[in-house]
Amino acid sequence: DQQVKQNSPSLSVQEGRISILNCDYTNSMFDYFLWYKKYPAEGPTFLISISSIKDKNEDGRFTVFLNKSAKHLSLHIVPSQPGDSAVYFCAASEVVGNQFYFGTGTSLTVIP
Amino acid sequence: NAGVTQTPKFQVLKTGQSMTLQCAQDMNHEYMSWYRQDPGMGLRLIHYSVGAGITDQGEVPNGYNVSRSTTEDFPLRLLSAAPSQTSVYFCASGGINRDSVFFGEGSRLTVL
């Protein structure tokens, strides 16, 4: 059973607007959450993370929000740029070890 | 700076054949892992290792073997390939910091 879920397979946004990508999880043992970005024919690359002791982490145009009670996190990209067009994976990690459980990905298209 | 190197990038096998996907990292990372990416499934963990001589199973280990004789190398073996193992395989390595996990570029395997 999928422990990390991304229910939107795709998202299209106009350049300059906000992109919001969502992720839900079921395992209460997850204590660290990450977003990865993936271009075609490349491996995923780390984007931003958040620990379960926080509810927000910001890095430039990227902000991740964590709602532990709802077991939900989201990635906000403001402003969106065409170079942000990629597949975004949400991942979660348990307390021990850094093996990750990934969501199915959301393909973001930023329209110029 | 090589990072995580996977070989081969592409491989076609017949059902029942065996092969090894190679993964090497030059960052002296303790953690290494193998994932497979399938359409609609995201990345799923196959096997992982927390150091030389130590390996463990992930979400989808059946049909795969691994070993970790050195810190640098973490090969993934398919002893008898099946069409269900057609996928893109990613190797990853990381240190203690869970943000510092790096992925290889992927190996696309087709089993006929």
Q: Do residue A99 and residue B31 have CB atoms under 8 angstroms apart? A: yes
pLDDT of residue A100: 86
Q: Is the pLDDT of residue B1 over 60?
A: no
Report the alpha-carbon distance of residue A34 to residue A59 in Å, rounded: 13
Question: How many cross-chain Cβ pairs, A to B, lie less than 8 Å apart?
Answer: 60
Q: What is the CA radius of gyration of chain A?
A: 13
Report the alpha-carbon distance of residue A41 to residue A43 in Å, rounded: 7
- Residue A57 exposed, middle or buried by CB count within 10 Å (0-12, 13-18, 19+): middle
Residue A74 confidence class, pLDDT cut points 50, 70, 90:
very high
Q: Do residue B106 and residue A45 have CB atoms under 8 angstroms apart? A: no
Report the alpha-carbon distance of residue B94 to residue B104 in Å, rounded: 12
Residues of B within 8 A of A93 (CB-CB) are: 98
Helix (H, G, I), strand (E, B) or coil at A44: coil
Q: Do residue A43 and residue B99 have CB atoms under 8 angstroms apart? A: no
Q: Do residue B98 and residue A99 have CB atoms under 8 angstroms apart? A: no
Write the DSSP symbol of residue A53.
Answer: T
pLDDT of residue A64: 98
Which among B101, B102, B105 is the top mutation candidate for probing chain A, defined by the most A β-carbons within 10 Å of its own β-carbon? Answer: B101
pLDDT of residue A97: 64
Report the alpha-carbon distance of residue B26 to residue B16 in Å, rounded: 33
Q: Do residue A104 and residue B48 have CB atoms under 8 angstroms apart? A: no
> What are the distances in angstroms from CA B12 to CA A67, B86, B91, B107?
44, 9, 19, 11
Write the DSSP symbol of residue B85.
Answer: G
User: Rounded to 10 degrees, what is the CA torsion of A94, A48, B60, B112?
Assistant: 180
Which among B9, B25, B43 is the top mutation candidate for probing chain A, defined by the most A β-carbons within 10 Å of its own β-carbon? Answer: B43
Query: Could you read off the pLDDT of A5-54 as tens digits, one per residue?
Result: 999 999 999 999 999 999 999 999 999 999 999 998 899 999 999 999 99
